[in-house]
Amino acid sequence: MKTIKLVDIAKTIRSKNAGTDRITFDIIFREKENYELVKASKIITKEFIANLFQICESRISDFVEFDPAYAIKFTILRLQPSGSPGEGDVFGCQQYPPLLDIEIPV
């Protein structure tokens, strides 16, 4: 089966701080066709994200396929508040790399 990496078809893949106790992730597509391809593949789900990030599914507070923006968005609850001792990413902007290599069937 032929696949393409998510990073090769998404316009934006990012993570960012969403308050003191959450990190939000955005996968945004420029073309509707690419968004629909990923959505139809059913690869990116709440369960898949939990496995990818090696977290309990209950830590994913939101998971949305947002058609008007051709975007998939989800939010993960932090284990420690942003900026607390031992917390390594205050802005939450270094959490997205596992998403880059997701293989989407074409």
Q: What are the structural domain ranges in the chain?
A: 3-79
Residue tagged 């393409």 (tokens): 4
The 10 Å Cβ neighbour count of residue 39 is 15
pTM metric for this prediction: 0.94
Class for domain 3-79, per CATH?
A: alpha beta
What's the pLDDT at 26?
98
**Mean pLDDT score, 63-88:** 94
What's the pLDDT at 101?
96
Q: Is the pLDDT of residue 58 over 90?
A: yes
Q: Is the pLDDT of residue 86 over 90?
A: no
Q: Is the pLDDT of residue 98 over 90?
A: yes
What's the pLDDT at 49?
98
CB 97 within 8 A of CB 5: no
**Mean pLDDT score, 81-106:** 93
